[in-house]
Amino acid sequence: MISYLLQDPAKPVHAMAEGVDQYGQLTKLASTFSHVDNLFYFTYVVCIFFFVLITGVLFYSVVKYRRKTFDQPAVSNRTHNTPLEVVWTVVPLIIVMVMFAWGWKGSLDMTVVPADARQYKALAKQWNWTFFYPNDAVPSSGELWLEVNKPAAFTLESSDVLHAFYMPSMRVKRDVVPGRFQTVWFQPTTEGEFHLFCAEYCGKDHSQMYAKVHVVSADVYRTRPWDTWDDKNPKKGGENLYKSLCASCHTINGTKLTGPTWKDLWGKQEQVVEAGQIKTVTVDEAYVIESIRKPDQKKVVGFEKANMTAFDDKVIDEKRVKGIIEYMKSLSNAGSEKK
């Protein structure tokens, strides 16, 4: 425990790039928002100054003017000293006005998004984060890749309750409010891995609503490291897609969310409603493809009122659909038997 308190601030605490800044108070800054740190340390010094002043006077008085006999009167009964009172009103006033102006200016910097920023989207949901990259079909969940020295702007959306997008090293935080679009931006300046926390209480697993952010060089970024598709292992790729795109509505353990579970789905005889008629279909390749492209065509009985997002081939192309199907097969006894 003590070793934590005394640790060398320059040394990273973990495998993370975070670490601690040179004064050991804040996480090491990894974005351009240095005004946060500057103002923080300014206010910090002001606090220490007043704290030392107050404690000093108190200690001195207690030692010096200690009551020795029970009838000892006060040394002075003075109750006013106008110059002193003016000083201790005006000086703090000036100091706090400086802090105010400084903080206000800093916060303006944090709201004006630079024109060359990359536009990402972050979708918050109890209890995970999904990130969508600009002009890119493949999202990622629980992990995010950013390019160093390139401003990144996020549109924040929540599909249930309040959450907050918080990256301590970048000094940014923004609430994610259902029904509203919020934005946040920053420019990472250091390569490495950083924490992304959910900072607004959102229920049971609030503390585990975490994402790891990789800030990488332009060259690495260009390889689209979030796209983990591997032609040799389509099932793995399908599973990843499931996690980032489908897991919010479909489970693989038998419980139903917005949509039916995928457990034992493959090969099942499913009751669906098509054009007002109840039919029975077998869950096969054609049906799954239709479910992905035109989910409203056949509605599963019991889910008539629920809607599924349609995904066209810009988001999930043919080979990825195949991957999802591979993954779905692996979740079902019928699926594996048929093989």
Partner 1 sequence: MTTNAPAMGVATGSHDTVKKNYLEISKGFWSWAGTLDHKRIGIMYLIGVSLALLAGGVFAMLVRLHLWKSTGVLFDNATYNQIFTLHGVFMVFIFIIPAIPGSLGNMVLPLMLGAKDVALPRLNLLSFYLWLSGTCLALYAIVAGGFDTGWTFYAPYSIYTNQAVVSVGLGIFLLGFSSIFTGLNFIVTTHKLRAPGLTWFRMPLFVWAIYATAILQVLATPVLGITVLLVAFERLYHIGIFDPRLGGDPVLFEHFFWFYSHPAVYIMVLPAFGIISDLISVHSRKPLFGYKLIAFSSIAIAMISFLVWGHHMFTSGQSSYAMFAFSFLTFFVGIPTAIKEFSWVATVWKGSIALNSPMLYTLSFLIIFAIGGLTGVILGALNVDIHLHDTYFVVAHFHYVMMGSIALAFFAGVHHWWPKMFGVMYSEFYAKIACALIFVGFNATFIPQFIMGSRGMPRRYATYVPEFEGFHQASTIGALVIGTGVALMVGNLVLSIFTGKKAMQNEWGGVTLEWLSPTPPPLENFYEQPIVTTEVYDYTTLDLRTTQTPCS
- State which residue, 164 or 249, has the beta carbon closest to ligand CUA: 164
168 phi and psi angles, rounded to 5 deg: -55, -45
Which burial class, exposed, middle or buried, applies to 160 when counting CB atoms under 10 A from its CB (0-12, 13-18, 19+)? middle
Q: Which does residue 23 touch among ligand CUA, partner 1, ligand HEC, none (CB within 5 to 8 A, set by kind)? A: none
Q: Using CA atoms in the order 184, 185, 189, 191, what is the torsion angle rounded to 10 degrees?
A: 60
Please choose, out of 43-51, 64-72, 197-205, 324-332, the segment that lies near ligand CUA by the rule CB under 6 A: 197-205
Which of positions 192-231 make contact with ligand HEA (CB under 6 A)?
A: none
The two three-digit tokens of residue 259, written as one number: 């949509």
Closer residue to ligand CUA in complex, CB, 203/302: 203
Distance in Å, CB of 104 to partner 1, minimum: 6
Closest CB to ligand CUA among residues 209, 247: 209
Q: Which amino acid is at 127?
A: W
**Binding pattern for the stretch 72-101 against ligand HEA, x by CB under 6 A and - elsewhere:** --------------------x--xx-----
Residue 124 vs 292, nearer CB to ligand CUA:
124
* Contact by Cβ (8 Å): 256, 263: no
Name which of 39 and 46 has its Cβ closer to ligand HEA. 46
For residue 285, give the 3-state DSSP assignment.
helix
Does 65 bind ligand HEA (CB under 6 A)? Our answer is no
Helices (H), 112-260: 218-222, 234-241
Whether 178 and 160 have beta carbons less than 8 Å apart is answered as yes
* Residues 110-129, mask of contacts with ligand CUA (x by CB under 6 A): --------------x--x--
How do strand 118-125 and strand 152-158 relate by DSSP bridges?
parallel
Query: Segment contacting partner 1 (CB under 8 A): 18-26, 135-143, 221-229, 280-288?
Result: 18-26
Closest distance to ligand HEC from the beta carbon of 211 (Å): 19
**Position 68 contacts partner 1 (CB under 8 A):** yes
HSE-up of residue 165 (Cα within 13 Å, Cβ side): 28
How wide is the angle at C-alpha 85 spanned by C-alphas 84 and 88, nearest 5°? 85
Is 168 a binding residue for partner 1 by CB under 8 A? The answer is: yes
CA distance 307 to 317: 21
Which of 296, 269, 273, 297 lies closest to 284 in space, CA to CA?
A: 269
Tell me if 172 contacts partner 1 by CB under 8 A. Answer: yes
How many other C-beta atoms can be found within 10 angstroms of the C-beta atom of residue 75? 9
**127-166: which residues touch partner 1 (CB under 8 A)?**
160-162, 164, 166
- Comparing CB distances to ligand CUA, the nearer of 198 and 316 is 198
Question: 248 contacts which partner out of ligand HEA, ligand CUA, ligand HEC, none, CB within 5 to 8 A by kind?
Answer: ligand HEC
Nearer to partner 1, 157 or 326 (CB): 157
| 210 vs 208: CA distance, rounded Å | 5
What is the C-alpha to C-alpha distance for residues 328 and 234, in angstroms, rounded to an integer?
11
Ranges within 135-164 binding ligand CUA (CB under 6 A): 163
By CB under 8 A, tell whether 206 contacts partner 1: yes
Answer for which of 200, 215, 245, 249 binds ligand CUA (CB under 6 A) is 200
Report how far residue 54's alpha carbon sits from residue 99's, in angstroms, rounded to the nearest whole number: 21
Q: Which residues bind ligand CUA (CB under 6 A)?
A: 124, 127, 163, 198, 200-202, 206, 209
